[in-house]
Amino acid sequence: MKLILAQSAGFCYGVRRAVELAEETAAQGTPCVMLGSIIHNRDVIDHLASQGLVSVDRPEQVPDGSAVIIRSHGESRAVHEGLKARGVRILDATCPNVTRIHQIVAQAEERGRQPVIIGTPDHPEVTAIAGWCRHPVVLAGEEELDIWLSQAPERREFPLTFVSQTTSTRKIWDGCVKKAKKECTNAEFFDTICGATSKRQGEARQLAEKCGMMVVIGDRKSSNTKRLAELCREVCPDVRLIERAEDLDLTHIPQTETIGITAGASTPAWIIKEVYNKMSDEIMEIEKSFAELLEESIKPINNGDKVTGTVVAITPTEIQVELGIKYPGYIPLSELSDDPNVKPEDVVKVGDEIESYVMLVSDRDCLVKLSKKRLDMVKGWEEIEAAKENETVVEGFVTEDNKGGVVVSVKGIRVFVPASQTGLPRETPMSELLKKKVRLVITEVNRARRRVVGSISKVTRAERAAAAEKVWAEIEEGKRYTGTVKSLTSYGAFVDIGGVDGMVHISELSWSRIKHPSEVVKVGDTVEVYVISADKEKKKISLGMKDHSQEPWTVFTSTYQVGDVANVRIVKLMTFGAFAEVVPGVDGLIHISQIADHRIEKPGDVLAEGDKVDVKITDIDMENKKISLSIRALLEAPAAEEEPESEPQE
């Protein structure tokens, strides 16, 4: 037979942190009590009691002038405030993962949202989380969620914030999330299942699948331990839940090649060792000694080390990493990538192995702060030097700007780009490039001084030259391009069609009569143009924008005929009359005699450019494409249509 101990068996970092805090306090001789059992293990509680740390059940029982240890499961906001009001010194051993849930639900209520806690309602951790809300909702699982939603259908429209008890199973949480996403219209989800718990449960189940017998060690009151046993029973025929070595009956061991051992997060190492040693006396082959496994679990790491771990959870602010040691690791989002817009799920996924740099080992918080970005930076120097040597193009994000230029982060390395090499026009502020992704070449590297200089404009010029060469090779009359308006003059607009600028004459911008190109386009606009002519020798391109499928005279003749009334815009005043635009590109003449029903000296006495007036179309010269219009005809029409009064009868 082979005896295998699960790698993640025993204290999690939150429990270890709480126990170490209690032991340190007891060693100092500070008057102190524990509020409730700081962890779910009576042997540990008895051990602490023997050191002078007693437990009290209620906050009122904490003696005045004494310190109090808050258990790893946490306590409500009211308990914290009540103890502080009495001047009691609080030693908070709440698991950092649980503290984070307190913050999530409290902030959710501040934003007008309804916190929904998925977990065992009477579990002390859940009770504490609920104590940070004014109106919490606690549900054990998917079935309870369904009942709660059906009791008041309008709840499906509520702004809901879902969190999970840290020791809940992935199956329960995923079921609730799936149902809520399907039925609720305004829900947000925070996956607060502890990464260490999730990994422990996964390891236990995988080990149980290949074992004929599983031994689960832990306090029977521990929710974490009971979950482990439940998961193991799903795949293993013989699962035994025990609290200590003397509970294990080895007289009836099944005929199996492998027996597995795991332990809940509140089970101390010395109890696991007792069970392991008792069983090893009956087993012919031991995979690893308990001492070796324990040594691996507490292997120290130091600031500056390079470590490899497994991603166990991803949140909007950090990546949680299991390092296989006594402390978990986390990578803040700011230390994941030098891309300021990066989303964690675009870089890593749960289950991925990730290599990172140790920034800080915190024994107080039982955490290891990691950085992938800084490790990338170390590798980045080699790539930067190679890019300079080979003159290759690299990519980065602009992180800073000043009068002298901009700073680009490339592989975590700061690269300075002088203003003259940014490619921006002289008067354009450098801030235009902030947080943008740019392509550049490295022009100078001094690793000793940590100085790197680059050029964006060199890449831009080279790419523009290559694009221009392609345009000139393929250009022909009538070919269409999508371009960008680069500049305007009084006579037209210059448009970049991909490395080459062409000019759209003012007459080719619109069928309507315009005085300046700015009436139709502005710098930076994306426009559709076509080639009117291209002189490859002189490198000149004439472009057009007008839609020739909408030829103005055809549009006019298909819309109007003699006798119709049209609303027109006065575009030009002459001594003999006024020209008016009937449709874009087609003007008609209102002779001075047709402007009013009385004599006028000049058209400007009645009309102004830009006026819109109703006119009657009195004549259309199809051959010469001329139109005669009249305002007077509309003024006289009512009088002409009046019936003459009849002669009175004698």
- pLDDT tens profile 147-163: 999 999 899 999 999 99
- Mean of the pLDDT values across residues 39-65? 86
* Residue 340, pLDDT above cutoff 80: no
Where does the pLDDT of residue 115 fall: very low under 50, low under 70, confident under 90, or very high at 90 and above?
A: very high
pLDDT in tens, 403-438: 789 999 888 788 999 999 998 888 888 888 988 899
Which of 11-15, 56-60, 215-219, 384-388 has the weakest average pLDDT? 11-15
Rounded to 10 degrees, what is the CA torsion of 176, 177, 183, 184?
120
Most confident listed range (111-115, 516-520, 583-587): 111-115
- Mean of the pLDDT values across residues 190-206? 83
DSSP 485: E
Where does the pLDDT of residue 564 fall: very low under 50, low under 70, confident under 90, or very high at 90 and above?
A: very high
d(CA 585, CA 557): 12
* Residue 391, pLDDT above cutoff 70: yes
The pLDDT assigned to 646 comes to 45
Q: How many alpha carbons lie under 13 Å from residue 402 in its C-beta half-sphere? A: 6
Query: Which pair of tokens denotes residue 320?
Result: 């949680």
Query: For residue 24, which phi and psi values (nearest 5 degrees)?
Result: -65, -40
Most confident listed range (15-29, 238-252, 302-316, 329-343): 238-252
Which one has a higher pLDDT value, 468 or 154? 154
Choice among 125, 142, 335, 508 that is catalytic? 125
Select from 212, 229, 218 the least CA-distant residue to 2: 212
- Interior angle at CA 342, CA 337 and CA 347, nearest 5: 70
d(CA 240, CA 262): 11
Where does the pLDDT of residue 509 fall: very low under 50, low under 70, confident under 90, or very high at 90 and above?
A: confident
- Mean of the pLDDT values across residues 255-275? 85
The pLDDT assigned to 286 comes to 47
* Residue 552, pLDDT above cutoff 90: no
The pLDDT assigned to 648 comes to 44
pTM score: 0.48
- Mean of the pLDDT values across residues 170-197? 89
Q: Residues, the chain, total?
A: 650
* Residue 628, pLDDT above cutoff 80: yes
CB 266 within 8 A of CB 222: yes
Three-state secondary-structure class, residue 151: helix
pLDDT in tens, 583-626: 888 899 999 999 998 889 999 999 999 999 999 999 999 888 89
Domains of the chain: 10-92 (3.40.50.11270), 97-189 (3.40.1010.20), 198-284 (3.40.1010.20), 306-375 (2.40.50.140), 391-460 (2.40.50.140), 475-550 (2.40.50.140), 561-640 (2.40.50.140)
Which of 337-346, 572-581, 613-622, 623-632 has the weakest average pLDDT? 337-346
Where does the pLDDT of residue 285 fall: very low under 50, low under 70, confident under 90, or very high at 90 and above?
A: very low
Which one has a higher pLDDT value, 228 or 290? 228
The pLDDT assigned to 208 comes to 93
The pLDDT assigned to 637 comes to 55
Most confident listed range (506-515, 529-538, 638-647): 529-538
Percentage of the residues of the chain whose pLDDT score is greater than 90: 35
Q: Is 382 a catalytic residue?
A: no
